[in-house]
Amino acid sequence: MPEHGLVLEEVRKVRRAGVVRLRETDTPELIRIAGQLPAAGGELTAGAVERLLRAAVAGIGGGSLQTAAEYSLGLAQGTRDWPAADRRRRAAQVYGVSVERFRKHHELMVLGQIAEQLVGIAGRTPEDTAGEPSRLPAAHRELRLSVHGRAVTVTVHVHSVDLLRDVDVVVSPSNTYFALPAPYKSSVSATLRRAGALKDPAGGLVEDHVHDELRGWAARHGAPGRAALPGTVVATSSGALAAQGVRRIYHVAVAVPRPESNDYDVQPADVTRGVARAFALLAEETRASEPPLTSICLPLLGAGRGGLPPLESFGALWAAVEAELARGADWEIHFVVRRHARADLIERLLADRRSP
């Protein structure tokens, strides 16, 4: 068993360096623990240490503590190369305190909890890990289905939406005001806004493509500050995501804000209606596109801040997808989720449609 103090000191080194510099950071205890993990197979590399740190942070169990831990080490999406000061500032914002107060109080707790998780991982016996997989699960799954007598392949991506490549259209959930969340948030729409923005070499914002195009749409349609009908779809470019082969983003209004609160209402019927309209827009735009648009990717609309259970969200999505496929449409269908548990759910729900 490693000493908590030694592990904590190495966690502090990672906080200062960030995971992007793990290879040049002296962390012998972390390397030793990482080499014991079943998925590592004795691998003593920076990649193995990063996977160990992600497992430790995930073991915290969510909430502000886990979010602050992710920012502190540079494990949060898009923060790998952030300077230590910027990561500390963002972690302080999670708790709503000054950077100095966070450094003196909250950061000690956050890093200490990461170290506790690491010591706990190191103390697991072979019997504890006997049932664990010997390799990392796949980042995407291809499901071969039979839909109304047609053979169809559906791809389920299990990663953040900004890692998608060579998918023509990505669907993004929106509220009925088409007001995008701040780019540092973790939602699908915030991630797409962040990934589509143009930045300078220092990471400074040059052009906020997706946000600006949505505001332009509202201005042209006389709707700034006025809610659109649920199910409305607005198309924008993908901004910087075009370099990854993502050509369009379809923003679907599914979340209706509750007055005088931070909550939303999402109706499954609005999800189905919005996805159906996204397919109609796809058919319209592909006629004017060269090369034609052929693929579309859907997250579980409304299953985040909207509060819709993943089961209901996918059921509402699939109703529109199945209707589109039933009429003979030949689109490549993709889904994207961040958790393997949700990918497992999709597989179970489509099990009766699997091709032999």
Pick the residue with more confidence: 308 or 283?
283
Whether 32 has a pLDDT exceeding 60, the answer reads yes
Whether 134 has a pLDDT exceeding 50, the answer reads no
Predicted confidence at residue 129, as pLDDT, reads: 47
Whether 154 has a pLDDT exceeding 60, the answer reads yes
Predicted confidence at residue 23, as pLDDT, reads: 87
Of 185, 27, 198, 205, which is closest to residue 118 (Cα–Cα)? 27
Pick the residue with more confidence: 134 or 260?
260
Predicted confidence at residue 4, as pLDDT, reads: 82
The DSSP letter of residue 241 is: G
Of 241, 220, 86, 268, which is closest to residue 164 (Cα–Cα)? 241
- Average pLDDT, integer, range 123-143: 61
Q: How many CA atoms lie within 13 A of 17 on its CB side?
A: 17
Could you tell me if 307 and 263 are in contact, meaning their C-beta atoms sit under 8 angstroms apart?
yes
Report the C-alpha gap between 142 and 317 in whole angstroms: 18
pLDDT tens, position by position, 42-75: 445 678 888 889 988 988 877 788 889 999 999 9
Whether 34 has a pLDDT exceeding 90, the answer reads no
Report residue 96's pLDDT band, with 50, 70 and 90 as the boundaries.
confident
- Average pLDDT, integer, range 286-312: 90
- Average pLDDT, integer, range 113-123: 87
Compute the residue count for the chain.
356
- pTM here is 0.64
- Average pLDDT, integer, range 19-45: 75
Predicted confidence at residue 224, as pLDDT, reads: 66
Whether 280 has a pLDDT exceeding 90, the answer reads yes
Average pLDDT, the chain: 86
- Average pLDDT, integer, range 240-256: 94
Q: What is the CATH number of domain 140-353?
A: 3.40.220.10
Q: Report domain extents, the chain.
A: 4-122, 140-353
Pick the residue with more confidence: 127 or 216?
216
pLDDT tens, position by position, 183-217: 888 789 999 999 999 887 777 788 899 999 999 98
Predicted confidence at residue 95, as pLDDT, reads: 86
Predicted confidence at residue 40, as pLDDT, reads: 45
Report the C-alpha gap between 75 and 129 in whole angstroms: 24
Whether 313 has a pLDDT exceeding 80, the answer reads yes
Tokens in use for 9?
């000191």
Could you tell me whether strands 332-337 and 150-158 are parallel, antiparallel, or unpaired per DSSP bridges?
A: parallel
Predicted confidence at residue 172, as pLDDT, reads: 96
Of 304, 54, 319, 295, which is closest to residue 165 (Cα–Cα)? 295
Query: Percentage of the chain with pLDDT > 70?
Result: 92
Could you tell me if 120 and 109 are in contact, meaning their C-beta atoms sit under 8 angstroms apart?
no
Of 67-71, 100-104, 270-274, 304-308, the one with minimum mean pLDDT is 304-308
